[in-house]
Amino acid sequence: MFERKTQICVFLENKPGRFAEVCDLLYANGINIRAMNVMPSVDYGVMRMVVNDSQKAIAALEQERVPFLESDVLAVEVADRPGIAATLGRRLADAGVNIEYTYFSGASSGSRALMIFMVSDLDTALAAMQESQID
């Protein structure tokens, strides 16, 4: 599966409990975090995530006045096996698409992994991924 997904970037104050508060908010609204990455800085961290219902998550964050941005990313759901990241990275490189950053949700052996890519050209990336089956 290759598709365009909405990534939500939440800006978290760098203090104890803030991460838990945002996760609790999403949980209370029935939102499942499919993949996530948190990058720290001095005063704020950035929590990047793809969820099962982005519109519902956005509504909950807005209601609680949690600062966030949304952007489109490439989501790839594939078998969790050695070499899959290299295969996808090569496919994007061959299409002339730069990977700005990426993060994955791991899975147990034999399961599916969700890989998220912020890329320089999402339409070209989607076309490159659709050219042949990867799995």
Is residue 124 domain-resident?
yes
| pLDDT score recorded for residue 130 | 83
Residue at a domain's end among 71, 95, 119: 71
CATH number of the CATH domain containing 82: 3.30.70.260
- pTM for this structure? 0.89
Residue 30 and residue 62 in one domain? yes
Cα–Cα distance, 91 to 127 (Å, whole number): 10
Q: Is the domain of 11 the same as that of 61?
A: yes
Percent of the chain with pLDDT strictly greater than 90: 73
Q: Which of 49-63, 71-85, 97-111, 119-133 has the lowest mean pLDDT?
A: 97-111
Domain of residue 13, CATH code: 3.30.2130.10
Whether 109 is in a domain gets the answer yes
What is the band of 107 on the pLDDT scale with cuts at 50, 70, 90? low
Residues 81 and 93 in one domain: yes
In this structure, the answer to whether residues 67 and 91 fall within a common structural domain is no
Residue 135 lies in a domain: no
Nearest to 32 by CA among 45, 50, 59: 50
Q: Please state, in angstroms and rounded to a whole number, the distance separating the CA atoms of residues 34 and 114.
A: 7
In terms of domains, do 13 and 65 share one? yes
Domain of 101?
Answer: 73-130
Distance between CA 68 and CA 62 in Å, rounded?
8
